[in-house]
Amino acid sequence: MKRESFDILVSGGGVAGLIAATAFGSAGYSVLCVDPNAPVTDANDPDADLRTTAFLQPARALLDTCGLWSSLAPHAAPLQIMRIVDAGGETPEPRVVKDFRASDISDEPFGWNLPNWLLRREILGRIGDLANVEFRPGVSTQSVLTRESEALVSLSDGTRASAKLLIAADGRNSPVRDAVGIDVKTTRYGQKALAFAVTHPIPHENISTEVHRSGGPFTMVPLPDRDGQSCSAIVWMERGAEVKRLQSLNKDAFEDEMNTRSCHLLGPLTLASRRSAWPIISQIAGRMSAERTALIAEAAHVVPPIGAQGLNMSLGDLRVLLELAEGAPDTLGSRPMLDTYHKRRHPDVRLRVTGIDALNRASMVGAPALRDLRAAALNAFYSVAPVRKTLMRTGLGSR
């Protein structure tokens, strides 16, 4: 069997895995990234990922280091205000509206929003410029054997690869995580999320808006204009049966439902893409490392799409790995390096998974008394300026 050697093997070619390959490649390491599926880089492809990702402030420095930000910036919509709307009264109308302004804590926006399919396109373009990085779509990890000096990985194309560091970025059902014997704790909510894009007559003014009623938040995130019209990405979380019903509606009926749920804050919303749905869970790995192996992204943690935490937690994983690798290159993938990685990342990940779980449960409540309590809590947190600013800095991942 053919055997190849690399500094780093990244198992998983989603957005997080591709950024990991780009980051380590830009730092001079030899990298192989594999994924069983070829990334879809066209919004019109039936398999395109129509979700969007908001890169929060700390992500920009990492994307700059990777050589990615210059190509992403022209497509990014800045997020200047995070608006929370409680519409949990008797009728679906705003009764509490609170704005969390980036200008209160920084001269920069909270972050920048981009479509996932476009992210894949631009990251692959950057990988094509890196001679020391190879991406193999259509190739999966078949087996993993680790030893003190290296990880040995058998791939579906018949290759056997060795690496000083194996990065598991292969999703919530990670084969690599299973192979190295790391357990996970999973929480299921009975929820799903609908993702789609809309156009609307009222400009979003770079405000990301979460509307809370019951079932989960209805989130409108700014996108660049489309054909001269204001455009936003929508993530609509509801219980599974309700999502199934919504998916079955024709376009006109669906638009009626989403306009009611949005409280008409941006005027009449017009569906501008197909609708996709995926299940909502929380999940955390018992450890973020094993012999010669680091878990990042959804292999290590999964959270509901609240507060733009998902991929930004993944980039937090990557930043720590890069710092440790560049601080002591001779220890790449060693037990001390990976133990330090686990100790630095796992407490923060555990705290964020717990916090987002609590926020999601609060967003789901349907009983009027509990919805009133949620509105009162929003008022209380917002009214105390130091608390409000601390929450914003914590959400950004600021140290």
72-114+188-280+364-396 falls under which CATH superfamily? D-Amino Acid Oxidase, subunit A, domain 2 (3.30.9.10)
Residue 35 has pLDDT above 70, yes or no: yes
- Average the pLDDT over 294-307 and give the result: 94
Is residue 227 scored above 90 in pLDDT? no
Burial class (CB in 10 A: 0-12, 13-18, 19+), 251: exposed
Residue 287 carries which side chain, given as an amino acid letter? Answer: R
The structure tokens listed for 140 are: 């999966």
pLDDT at 265: 96
Tell me what the mean pLDDT of segment 308-319 comes to: 91
Mean pLDDT taken over the chain: 91
Per-residue model confidence (pLDDT) at position 1 = 57
What does DSSP say about strands 133-137 and 31-35: parallel, antiparallel, or unpaired? parallel
- What's the chain's length in residues? 399
Output the six-digit token pair for 71: 């190509």
Contacts of 258 (CB under 8 A, 6+ apart): 198, 218, 234, 236, 269, 271
Contact, 221 vs 54, CB < 8 A? yes
The answer to which of 141-155, 216-230, 240-254 has the lowest mean pLDDT is 216-230
Q: What is the pLDDT of residue 396?
A: 66
Dihedral angle sign, alpha carbons of residues 290, 296, 301, 302: negative
HSE of 306, CA atoms in CB hemisphere, 13 A: 24
pLDDT of residue 123: 96
Is the pLDDT assigned to residue 2 strictly greater than 80? no
Residues 6+ away with beta carbon under 8 Å from 369: none
First to last CA, the chain: 47
Measure the CA angle with vertex 251, ends 248 and 255; round to 5°.
105
Tell me which CATH homologous superfamily contains domain 3-41+118-186+286-359: FAD/NAD(P)-binding domain (3.50.50.60)
Task: Annotate the chain with three-state secondary structure.
Answer: CCEEEEEEEEECCCHHHHHHHHHHHHCCCCEEEEECCCCCCCCCCCCCCCCEEEEEHHHHHHHHHCCCHHHHHHHCEEECEEEEEECCCCCCCCCEEEEEEHHHCCCCCCEEEEEHHHHHHHHHHHHHCCCCEEEEECCCEEEEEECCCCEEEEECCCCEEEEEEEEECCCCCCHHHHHCCCCEEEEEEEEEEEEEEEEECCCCCCEEEEEECCCCCEEEEEEEEECCEEEEEEEEEEEHHHHHHHHHCCHHHHHHHHHHHCCCECECCEECCCCEEEEEEEEEECCCEECCEEECHHHCEECCCCCCCHHHHHHHHHHHHHHHHHHCHHHCCCHHHHHHHHHHHHHHHHHHHHHHHHHHHHHHCCCHHHHHHHHHHHHHHHHCHHHHHHHHHHHHCCC
Q: For the chain, what are the domain ranges?
A: 3-41+118-186+286-359, 72-114+188-280+364-396
Token couple for 17: 């895995």
pTM (2 d.p.): 0.91
pLDDT for 90-141, tens place per residue?
Answer: 888 999 899 988 888 888 898 999 988 999 999 999 999 999 999 999 999 9
CB within 8 Å of 89: residues ≥ 6 apart: 95, 371
Pairwise pLDDT comparison (196 vs 399), residue with the higher score: 196
Is the pLDDT at 381 greater than 90, yes or no? no
Asked if residues 21 and 31 have their Cβ atoms less than 8 Å apart, the reply is yes
How sure is the predictor about 149, in pLDDT bands with cuts at 50, 70 and 90?
Answer: very high
Angle at which helices 57-65 and 310-327 pack, to 10 degrees? 50
Instruction: State yes or no: pLDDT of 50 exceeds 90.
Output: no
